[in-house]
Amino acid sequence: MFISGIGAISASGIGTENL
Amino acid sequence: SISKDALLSVKNKYDLRRADRYTAIVMASAVQACADAGFADCAMADTGIIIASSFGPHRTTFAFLNDILDYPEDQVLPTTFSHSVHNAAASYVASSLQIRGPTISLTGFEDLWFDALELSDVFLNSGCCQRIVLVGVEELALLTQSLPSILPDSFHCRLLEGSVALLLSSTPEGKNYTSITCSRRSSCGEKPDRHSSCATANDFLGGAFQTALKALASSNQPGTTISIG
């Protein structure tokens, strides 16, 4: 299977740039 | 902790007036994963939803139980009850993003992230659906915040809070970060002492973040594969 999109939320906020 | 403004913006965008905090956390990551893949605000047919969480919406569940203790049975809030159901957040994702397909909520305390990835793989390989919105989520509430002091042997460090969503597809599409495979290792003898590294609950959400990080790291190298064991 393939990863087509990523999303995340943590204390640092929403968005993959926070990962 | 997760900022209220971040959750409020998601709730406002999708008109989730009555949604609880757990639902908003799930929605924030799921919406972003779909938008990242280029499927924002459009119906996604043939798509499944799998939401994995060790503790689920336990903040809402306990709120409902507290109401049962404080008020007569016919005066507790039906809204609180409906949100205390484990699958409620998955239904919000399906409804808000107009996703049609199988909707599953998983819970467990051992290898939950692996189980969720493996189930996604089974769904995609069996032709059950073409895409899966997979969300790993943990919300902190009184119970989970107190666990290190109640059960220091099992939960010796502070639990993580957050949510990771992956849009998984059976064929390359969207951002197409990388391919991902799951292989269950046969266990011989005793399992290693997991407490020596971190609490199992943290392993779950930490594992989800690690998978997302690996996918992001591999986005510059097409054709790579992440192997989860």
Per residue in B78-125, pLDDT (tens digit) is 999 999 999 999 999 999 999 989 999 999 888 899 999 999 999 999
Per-residue confidence band for B227, with pLDDT thresholds at 50, 70 and 90: confident
CB B137, CB B166: distance < 8 Å:
no
Q: What is the mean pLDDT of chain B?
A: 88
Give the span between the Cα atoms of B178 and B173, in whole angstroms. 10
Decide: residue B152, CB within 10 A, 0-12 exposed, 13-18 middle, 19+ buried.
exposed
Q: Is pLDDT of B179 > 80?
A: yes
- Substitution target in B1, B93, B122, B169 with the highest count of A β-carbons within 10 Å is B169
Show residues of chain A in contact with B168, CB under 8 Å: 1-4
User: Å from A16 to nearest chain B CA?
Assistant: 8
- Can you give the pLDDT at residue B204? 87
Q: Cβ separation of B35 and A7 shorter than 8 Å? A: yes
Instruction: Show the 3-state SS of B201-212.
Output: HHHHHHHHHHHH
Task: List pLDDT tens digits, range B15-30.
Answer: 999 999 999 999 999 9
Give the span between the Cα atoms of A13 and B26, in whole angstroms. 13
User: Å from A17 to nearest chain B CA?
Assistant: 10
- Can you give the pLDDT at residue B196? 39
Give the span between the Cα atoms of B136 and B16, in whole angstroms. 20
Give the count of beta carbons closer than 10 Å to the beta carbon of residue A11.
Answer: 12
- Can you give the pLDDT at residue B186? 66
Q: Which two tokens stand for residue B122?
A: 């089974």
Q: Is B222 on the interface with A (CB under 8 A)?
A: no
- Can you give the pLDDT at residue B29? 96
How far, in Å, are B15, B35, B57 from residue B143 at the CA level?
29, 33, 12
Q: Is pLDDT of B163 > 90?
A: yes
Query: Of the given ranges (B49-63, B166-180, B210-224), which has the lowest mean pLDDT?
Result: B210-224
Query: What is the average pLDDT across B213-220?
Result: 87
